[in-house]
Amino acid sequence: METKKIPTNTVTRDIKYLSEPTGNIYETVVILSKRANQIALAEKKELNKKLEEFRGERDTKDEVFENKEQIEISKYYERQPKPDLVAISEFEDGDLYYRTAKGEE
């Protein structure tokens, strides 16, 4: 799916380099946080859709049935890079499109 390897742990980055495209670190942080939220929401929807298949009418709060496939799906998503790391990677590669709203002058 993705050709570039995205780190799964925290990486130290130069803040001056990261803010070069926008010229303002605060704008960069807002852009990255919005994109990370989009990625997290998409992953959550995808995970819920996959886990919905395992929900049955028999399941109750008292009775929990552990399914091996369900556990494997959960582990797969736990190993994925965090949304903020994906957003930063996209931003650094120039794959992230953003625009600023023009205020009244």
Rounded-to-integer distance, Cα 39 and Cα 10, Å: 17
**pLDDT score of 74 more than 70:** yes
Rounded-to-integer distance, Cα 9 and Cα 21, Å: 24
**pLDDT score of 3 more than 50:** no
Which pLDDT score, from 0 to 100, does residue 7 have? 76
Whose tokens are 């949304």? That residue is 83
pLDDT tens column, 27-62: 999 999 999 999 999 999 998 888 887 776 555 554
| Cα Rg, the chain, nearest whole Å | 19
Which has the higher per-residue pLDDT, 3 or 86? 86
Which pLDDT score, from 0 to 100, does residue 105 have? 53
